[in-house]
Structure 1
Amino acid sequence: MAIPEGEEDNLFLMHKPKRMVKTDAGEMLVLKTQSGCRRFLDRHMHIAFITMQPNSLFVPHYLDSNLIIFIHKGEANLGFIYDDELVERRLKAGDVYVIPSGSAFYFVNMEEGQRLHIICSIDPSTSLGLDTFHSFYIGGGANSHSLFSEFGPAILETAFNESRMEVESIFYKELDGPIMYMDDSHAPSLGTKFLQLKKEEKEQQLNKMLQDQEEEKEEKKQTSSPWEKLLNNVFGKVNEKTESKNSVYWSKATNLYDKKSDFRNDYGWSKALDGVQYSPLTKPDTGLFYVYLKAGSMLGPHVNPRASEYTIVLKGCGELHIVYPNGSKAISIEIKQGDVFVVPKSFPLCQIASRDEPLEFFGFSTSAKEHKPLFLAGSVSILRTMLGPQLAAALGVSVDTLRRALDPQDELLIFPSTWSEPP
């Protein structure tokens, strides 16, 4: 398959973001791998960026794809259904969380004056279409209606055992879209106000509502209330104070910022998160990594033989170099904050921080197994390990000449560079 002329240098870049959600309260952008690049990938992902204004809600919904979230900046309240229970967690910057396909959830940014920035990986292999994913909004979706409203009043009357007037007052209102403000000036709905409450307040409010409904049932001889059915079916049994071990296990987040570095020297550090360290990553079979390079430092030539990597430049600028299996150049470009690129597994690469500022990047890999890169240079490189007459003959030099060339580099993985020194 030939690469179109002029696309060689950006084949591995993920650009041209698609705006999936856009409201006054926030937006969601999604990046996809280019079609020409997918032939090199073991599995392709979408990378999503969610930005939410203070006092905003990303309405309850579910995806047909596995979702891994990373809180880049800010704090979020996450409501998440697992095993028919609503689990709520406060997530801070650096937290990682896994939301399995088909699980309903919502985000709330309750911080004053602080935007919430979330980076997500979306695995379309579990979705209805291999090249995309679908969101199913329980309230305020893309067409400003919940998915319930499309069933029609007669169906909802029967489903919730409630009058048409009551059903229409809940499910047929014009809303502000998937991301909406929650303050009084934007007149939140009853469901939105309910989500604003703390968990204990939710329990009290729901118990009161259920108690009122029980009294009303005796009067009207109704079998059940619409709110009880709605909240139990959509948000889970929030009035239960106990959580199963399974739901508690799945509800735990882990913090990548707080994790100890797997490697560190005078020129930078790196850390990785796999399924052994954080078991929820095992099901979507996805890992995460974070790298910091000091100004002028280089993450030396290396290979990830187990997984492709999707990388987001968080800070700084520098250079990216990737090599094809036949030894020809795949890409050699300058990278900057906000750039997103993908590196297929087994493709050699290196990243270099600019001389003026550090380079910081984060990403997802397509395997939850322990991250074991092969180093092509450095104190434990494959060249040093294979040093002998066979390797020397392959390179057309003597063993002594090759040893003299390899011995000076005592560093591992992250190296200082000649251009990091002042002129």
Structure 2
Amino acid sequence: MAITNKLLVTLLLLISIAVVHCLAFHVEIEKFEPPHQEEQEGPGRRPGGGGSGEGWEEESTNHPYHFRKRSFKNWFQSKEGFVKLLPKFTKRAPALFRGIENYRFSLVEMEPTTFFVPHHWDADSVVIVLQGKGVIEFVTDNTKEAFHINKGDVVRVPSGVTHFLTNTNQTVPLRLAKFIVPVNNPGQFKDYFPSPSQFQQSYFSGFSKEVLSTSFNVPEELLERLVTRSKERGQGIIRRISPDQIKELAEHATSPSNKHKAKKEKEEDKDLRTMWTPFNLFAIDPIYSNDFGHFHEAHPKSFDQLQDLHIAAVWASMRQGSLFLPHFNSKTTFVTFVENGCARFEMATPYKSQEEQQQWPGQGQEEEDLSEEVHKVVSRVCKGEVFIVPAGHPFTILSQDQDFVAVGFGIYATNNKRTFLAGEEKNMLSNLNPAATRVTFGVGSKLAEKLFTSQNYSYFAPTSRSQQIPEKHKPSFQSILDFAGF
């Protein structure tokens, strides 16, 4: 009987060790389906209207970090294209998102051969080109400059600088993700158009005819035609244009990589010229890359266009069935937009979910939450949706039934440190002193040695045995026996 018990204990130990080894190479993805809700776009403040889009009803959700398509509201929409805007993040959770109150996210799409009329905002913005190609032109009273833009380009649009866009492609829409930093009121911004449109007034309508006639030295009748003509014709802010007009608008545009001579100009114009010059994320070597994923990041310390905003721009792509290994950011909160595919987003948070409390922190009486419970946030995020990863929150992404692509905007990115919790290289837990690992996790010496060092991939890893693991990475039965001490 003693021999039988000893064999049983040995067998159980072998099975447990095998499970520990297998977990390093295989992650089971639980089937997760969000509650079915009809994906409908709510009406904007007015058809095709402008403004910052405040005052809508928020969607019901299990946690505040995931914004589905219906969260976007139409700032402008017509058959030529649309501009959609997420609500202020603090409308969803005032306390959780207080640190990012002054940031907004927008999605722009222009149909082929269209023109977005000149305008400016009382906000800075960082734009990532998601799809297509076009031309963006900047105009001040002293200088003007046009650039070709393509997929992966990052463009800084300074506050108060008039700019306009042309989709030069005849078949593919131009899609832009836009991150906005208002300069007047936290989280609120306005648009300013010199010419009127069907739903937009010209900012010249704020002046008397006498002032305008004197300023431009033209008859009042001519000014009246210029200020009201587009509105009467029912044109929107995105308009169809002819091939000849496209050719004319793109004629003097330069590629961001092309060096060009600048005329003698004021110092502030040189600063603006540097600030609005686009660059491409794919021209930057990925900071994390292997067969299962790539992560390109433009850091504010490396790009003058992003430096004063302290914003990072990111493009991440993952193969189907891959895992972005768990990690957290020390200072940066990422607002992430899914451009392609679906993935399972998991995050650990000390904050209670809406189901566990009647009010979000900051709504009504705010109390400090001293609970030690960790809450698991799980969402299936898909193309066209946004999820937020606050600083300090460990999270991971599992691509599932197709390749996954996302772009992100990192807030307060200048002094951020990204810490990985798993992986072959730069894994914080594997860097612990072995004695600290034994004491902290209550394991023996050999298990402590193997616990955080069995992963053979860094940053991105396969999540299924169907993805072939090189023979040298596969654990052998003999290695399990050696591990067990037999």
The TM-score by the shorter chain falls in which range? 0.7 to 0.9
Q: 2:236 aligns with which of 161, 172, 177?
A: 177
Contact 2:282 2:296 in 1 (8 A): no
* Aligned residue number for residue 121 of structure 1: 179
* TM-score (normalised: structure 1): 0.80
Contact 1:81 1:104 in 2 (8 A): yes
Unaligned runs of 5+ in 2: 1-58, 254-261, 351-371, 469-486
1:83, distance to aligned residue in structure 2 (A): 7.3
1:274, distance to aligned residue in structure 2 (A): 0.8
2:378 alignment partner AA: S
Q: Alpha-carbon deviations, 1:184-234, whole Å to 9, x = none? A: 9xxxxxxx9699545669xxxxxxxxxxxxxxxxxxxxxxxxxxxxxxxxx
Contact 1:296 1:420 in 2 (8 A): no
Structure 1 residues 301 and 345: CA distance shift in structure 2, 3 A: same
Structure 1 residues 198 and 383: CA distance shift in structure 2, 3 A: closer
Q: Does 1:12 align with 2:65?
A: yes
Q: 1:331 aligns with which of 377, 388, 391?
A: 377
Alignment of 1:126-275 (within 5 A): 126=183, 128-141=184-197, 143-175=199-231, 176-183=235-242, 196-197=248-249, 245-275=270-300
Q: Does 1:363 align with 2:408?
A: yes
**Could you tell me how far apart the structure 2 residues matched to 1:139 and 1:59 are?**
8
* Aligned residue number for residue 210 of structure 1: none
1:177 alignment partner AA: G
RMSD of aligned alpha carbons: 2.7
2:430 alignment partner AA: R
SS in 2 for 1:66: strand
Q: Does 1:395 align with 2:441?
A: yes
Structure 1 residues 197 and 8: CA distance shift in structure 2, 3 A: closer
**Could you tell me how far apart the structure 2 residues matched to 1:99 and 1:38 are?**
28
Q: 1:72 aligns with which of 120, 130, 146?
A: 130
2:446 alignment partner AA: D
Contact 1:387 1:403 in 2 (8 A): no
Q: How many pairs align?
A: 369
**Could you tell me how far apart the structure 1 residues matched to 2:67 and 2:121 are?**
22
SS in 2 for 1:174: helix
Structure 1 residues 421 and 89: CA distance shift in structure 2, 3 A: closer
* TM-score (normalised: structure 2): 0.70
Contact 1:70 1:119 in 2 (8 A): yes
Q: 1:290 aligns with which of 285, 302, 315?
A: 315
Q: 1:53 aligns with which of 88, 111, 114?
A: 111
1:39, distance to aligned residue in structure 2 (A): 2.3
Contact 2:106 2:177 in 1 (8 A): yes
1:297 alignment partner AA: S
Structure 1 residues 170 and 40: CA distance shift in structure 2, 3 A: same
**Could you tell me how far apart the structure 2 residues matched to 1:142 and 1:21 are?**
11
Contact 2:337 2:385 in 1 (8 A): yes
Unaligned runs of 5+ in 1: 1-5, 185-191, 202-239
SS in 2 for 1:320: strand
Contact 2:65 2:387 in 1 (8 A): yes
1:115, distance to aligned residue in structure 2 (A): 1.2
* Aligned residue number for residue 414 of structure 1: 460
Contact 1:79 1:87 in 2 (8 A): yes
**Could you tell me how far apart the structure 1 residues matched to 2:466 and 2:185 are?**
47
* Aligned residue number for residue 108 of structure 1: 166
1:104, distance to aligned residue in structure 2 (A): 1.3
Structure 1 residues 82 and 381: CA distance shift in structure 2, 3 A: farther
Q: Alpha-carbon deviations, 1:223-281, whole Å to 9, x = none? A: xxxxxxxxxxxxxxxxx966664344234210113322112122212111112332110
Aligned residues with identical type, % of pairs: 21
Q: Alpha-carbon deviations, 1:104-153, whole Å to 9, x = none? A: 111111321221111111123x2x33132211112235634311123232
1:306 alignment partner AA: K
Contact 1:389 1:398 in 2 (8 A): no
**Could you tell me how far apart the structure 2 residues matched to 1:391 and 1:252 are?**
49
After alignment, is 339-348 or 267-276 more displaced? 267-276
**Could you tell me how far apart the structure 2 residues matched to 1:342 and 1:421 are?**
29
2:237 alignment partner AA: P
SS in 2 for 1:138: coil
